[in-house]
Structure 1
């Protein structure tokens, strides 16, 4: 529905000439509808217009017969008949214009049809000027002037079309007057034409303004009717009235319906008794009902008072407004007011409030409510000089279950975790879900640390027990980090941060344990933050470099390859241990650009400075393998350096099978298709990947140094594992590399077990590129001496 138009805005001064005749629409009005009402009137006077034009022509024809050639008169009449028929057809075609939106193109088309009639009359006047007596021009113009006046004064005409007819007819009359040298007549014709056009515009201005005002009033009337209808049909509000004794009077049907009664049943009954239900007998009223009774007693206005009432044993919520009634003498006569049932709105608000404060999956308090509870606990601790505690809980190995069995199983497990946690807390403790697989407990008043330690141990033990979900037995663990307030933080944010730091430490130490916050954790976190900041700029500052450790043939002890190992010489922190910055790079995904740089630099070094029979081994992170363009990164490194793909061996760890194994497998297979080989590093350190040894054709299995050191100490388990790995690799056509060999005895032991390659300090520590060049120089000199 369009916005109502103010009639004052549609008065003559507010409308331009183009707007009045329909060539332009004021903003915010249904202009086509307004003009459509005018154009729809045209069909009502079609026959009158036809008769008027034909009668006028007959009058002219009779008068000019004999002075104007008959052929000209006949052609004139025929042309006028066609023009009148064409215009009449256009009139009839607009008969429904008041029921639709009339387009500007339709207005112009009708104006052209009407203007054609004026053009025919003009042509006749010009014919008279050339072929008949000049006085005949005066006669014809008198008839045409009558038609012009009729067109401009009639309410059954369209302004644009009337102007078109007047201009067309007036142009012919003016030209004919000049041709016959009747200059006075020319002035009369010109003035008549201009005045007629002005009259059309002004009368149209009045009619359009009236239609706009009528449309606005009608629209307002419709809006009011609609609102009244909605009020009557909606049954959302009702009137109520009580006498000085608070008894109902003049009960309306709608109010009676809200009470579930007939008006006659409750007329004169106690208002408060009717809405209090069983509370009237027991004397137990909701606080809101007490408030209503107090306002009625004090005889004061009130509005939007939400009261809980009881109707037929069902609790409802009413919103009441009331005003005391006072007669001419100032005597109190009771109360009158309006009310509405807002039960649904109240329940919706309560539901929204619940959703805002509780987790929908576990029905536990959510992060917002936990923050509020922790804030109240801190205030309580500050007021009573006591202590509160915050325990942050994270599930161990939950992601693997969620990824492998699906979110439905994961959600059911989280629901079971929530139930177990609820059974462990006591009064004064709030357990909730922070999000994901993180939960928390707020202890409002902790008298001694034993409760915190005991609760943490109980949580870890209870959550580590088996879960029976969909005929499967599943296991997860739990890690707990805790912080005490106000000792470890005087604000909610500080306690959350410090408990999170303690949890991070518990997870970093293997999980399944409880760690309390210590100030050193904050120092470590700050150090980590500074390291991360420096690491983000390390490549741009050219602070990264590569060292290379040789890998030798177990039998000949000839170097077969070098493993590229990254080092960081930070301008801010000096040399940073790989054990410190590589996990940080993994966590922040900086390992992806760093790994790309390592790949490019190692390939370039091997191609430019090493013998063609020496391979380069490059370690690749699981994060790199998950990149969609990893194989393209390898191709660019090989292409830019010119290194033969057969000289590049990519080393991956078993952890790639914990992520998206199919993506990692596809990436490695693409690299193998290029001619590169792939080695499985740190084999046997804790992940089950035997199935992937069959699916993915590794070239080498690298035995972790822990097994080599164990075998050197005659550990039966380590010896058995190495022998098993060697036997399995031989059967699958793979080579084996033993890592961490530090002396000749260990090297001899590895040879006896059948390993094909050896890597360790005994054959060389990681060295800079210049030292690698020295190794090749010495080897070449030794070869020359042997050959000599």
Structure 2
């Protein structure tokens, strides 16, 4: 952590040291850019770049309000510049609850939108976590912002005790899953997948889009996509970048995942787990199942990367049983449009369920070996 005296921070922050970097948020199902998040950076005169965790704590409430106004102004200014280049995106800007409740906040937002000629629908305010703010007071402000046309996102769902109550009280457009939820994904993979899937379903039930933050590698990203999470953000997809670099990034961007393919252990575990959690059979034909290609590539390669011993015939048998007939299966969203259970090996439900548990254990062992 960079330790800088408080007066130096505030003086530099409001005398040309503030810049807004942009981090793309990507649609995990289509690979398209959905929006960007504006992230504040403090550039010191010696070239040091400070992050919010370093420069926010010493700021006074008045300075926090001023930071929001100046960050909003820069962000909308960048939107106008991108528009001139033919690049139209939506942007999200963080706002502290106390700033949101400021008597002039609505005026600050509407005036900035008007100054740069930006449609309100292209701005989303990310409301930071706070247990101390009145839900009723927040609701009043949010209603006025919605009337203006600005969207609202809940930042870091899962990091605070009051998150669920806030979600049920305020009309959020989207919710962001706290990056800390992924910290233990390779130590407790199925538990983490369960949290992600549950919160994704919660978002769907509330009619809001879900963003998973902290996607740092291909496995995490593939697992989130397999579980049906709408949006993702993290270093694997794109690092925060200076605002003037965004148009070039958009022009050159290629989505790093491939539709219908699974290439990581976490992705494979997520794919099988979404069926095993309900004791369902896999819905696609065995030959078309993405795990078939994944296992073919994995089982023909040496397991030196994970150190996990493999009985090739047993793993393939466990998987084939998930596509065999026998018993009834509930109708889930993952099962729509597939040729249910065809092409696999025949076996009793008891055999299939035991094989399913073996598969989960095997996938988990491979995931844990990546730590």
For 1:753, the equivalent position in structure 2 comes to: 227
Aligned: 1:765 with 2:245: no
Provide the TM-score with structure 2 as the length reference.
0.63
Aligned: 1:743 with 2:217: yes
Aligned: 1:565 with 2:39: yes
**Aligned equivalents of 1:573, 1:582: Cα separation in 2:** 19
For 1:686, the equivalent position in structure 2 comes to: 160
Indicate if the aligned counterparts of 2:82 and 2:88 stay in contact, CA closer than 8 A. Answer: no
Aligned: 1:640 with 2:115: yes
For 1:730, the equivalent position in structure 2 comes to: 204
SS at match of 1:750: helix
Indicate if the aligned counterparts of 2:69 and 2:108 stay in contact, CA closer than 8 A. Answer: yes
For 1:618, the equivalent position in structure 2 comes to: 93
**Aligned equivalents of 1:641, 1:613: Cα separation in 2:** 14
Residues 41-440 of structure 1: pairs in structure 2 closer than 5 A: none
Normalized per residue, which structure has more helix? 1
- Cα drift, residue 753 of structure 1: 1.6
- Cα drift, residue 647 of structure 1: 0.7
Distance change in 2, residues 1:578/1:635 (3 Å): same
Aligned: 1:596 with 2:69: yes
1:627-656 deviation digits (Å, cap 9, x = unpaired)? 11111111011011111111111101231x
For 1:350, the equivalent position in structure 2 comes to: none
Q: Please tell me whether Structure 1 or Structure 2 has the larger radius of gyration of its CA atoms.
A: 1
SS at match of 2:185: helix
Indicate if the aligned counterparts of 2:13 and 2:42 stay in contact, CA closer than 8 A. Answer: no
For 2:274, the equivalent position in structure 1 comes to: none
SS at match of 1:678: strand
1:304-341 deviation digits (Å, cap 9, x = unpaired)? xxxxxxxxxxxxxxxxxxxxxxxxxxxxxxxxxxxxxx
Residues 669-708 of structure 1: pairs in structure 2 closer than 5 A: 669-708=143-182
Count of aligned residue pairs for this structure pair: 252
**Aligned equivalents of 1:553, 1:577: Cα separation in 2:** 26
Indicate if the aligned counterparts of 2:98 and 2:133 stay in contact, CA closer than 8 A. Answer: no
Indicate if the aligned counterparts of 2:153 and 2:174 stay in contact, CA closer than 8 A. Answer: yes
Aligned: 1:654 with 2:129: yes
SS at match of 2:246: helix
- Cα drift, residue 571 of structure 1: 2.1
1:154-199 deviation digits (Å, cap 9, x = unpaired)? xxxxxxxxxxxxxxxxxxxxxxxxxxxxxxxxxxxxxxxxxxxxxx
For 1:477, the equivalent position in structure 2 comes to: none
Indicate if the aligned counterparts of 2:135 and 2:166 stay in contact, CA closer than 8 A. Answer: no
SS at match of 1:650: strand
**Aligned equivalents of 1:666, 1:572: Cα separation in 2:** 44
SS at match of 2:172: coil
Indicate if the aligned counterparts of 1:560 and 1:613 stay in contact, CA closer than 8 A. Answer: no
Indicate if the aligned counterparts of 1:561 and 1:615 stay in contact, CA closer than 8 A. Answer: yes
For 1:630, the equivalent position in structure 2 comes to: 105
SS at match of 2:229: coil
SS at match of 1:658: coil
1:757-785 deviation digits (Å, cap 9, x = unpaired)? 000001110000121121133359xxxxx
Indicate if the aligned counterparts of 1:708 and 1:738 stay in contact, CA closer than 8 A. Answer: no
Aligned: 1:580 with 2:54: yes
SS at match of 1:694: helix
**Aligned equivalents of 1:739, 1:663: Cα separation in 2:** 28
Distance change in 2, residues 1:536/1:706 (3 Å): closer
Indicate if the aligned counterparts of 1:604 and 1:643 stay in contact, CA closer than 8 A. Answer: no
- Cα drift, residue 613 of structure 1: 4.7
**Aligned equivalents of 2:106, 2:186: Cα separation in 1:** 39
**Aligned equivalents of 1:692, 1:709: Cα separation in 2:** 24
1:688-713 deviation digits (Å, cap 9, x = unpaired)? 23233222111111111111233344
SS at match of 1:545: strand
Indicate if the aligned counterparts of 2:177 and 2:213 stay in contact, CA closer than 8 A. Answer: yes
For 1:555, the equivalent position in structure 2 comes to: 29
For 1:105, the equivalent position in structure 2 comes to: none
SS at match of 1:742: coil
Distance change in 2, residues 1:729/1:658 (3 Å): same
SS at match of 2:162: coil
Indicate if the aligned counterparts of 2:91 and 2:124 stay in contact, CA closer than 8 A. Answer: yes
Aligned: 1:535 with 2:6: no
Structure 1 vs Structure 2 CA RMSD: 2.3
SS at match of 1:710: coil
Aligned: 1:775 with 2:256: no
Distance change in 2, residues 1:689/1:578 (3 Å): closer
Indicate if the aligned counterparts of 2:178 and 2:213 stay in contact, CA closer than 8 A. Answer: yes
1:244-279 deviation digits (Å, cap 9, x = unpaired)? xxxxxxxxxxxxxxxxxxxxxxxxxxxxxxxxxxxx
Indicate if the aligned counterparts of 2:87 and 2:247 stay in contact, CA closer than 8 A. Answer: no
Structure 1 stretches of 5 or more lacking a match? 1-523, 781-788
- Cα drift, residue 573 of structure 1: 8.0
1:29-55 deviation digits (Å, cap 9, x = unpaired)? xxxxxxxxxxxxxxxxxxxxxxxxxxx
Worse-superposed segment, 635-644 or 692-701: 692-701
Structure 2 stretches of 5 or more lacking a match? 255-371
For 1:254, the equivalent position in structure 2 comes to: none
Residues 432-451 of structure 1: pairs in structure 2 closer than 5 A: none
Which structure ranks higher in relative contact order (CA pairs < 8 Å, sequence separation ≥ 6)? 2
Indicate if the aligned counterparts of 2:29 and 2:228 stay in contact, CA closer than 8 A. Answer: no
**Aligned equivalents of 1:768, 1:584: Cα separation in 2:** 25
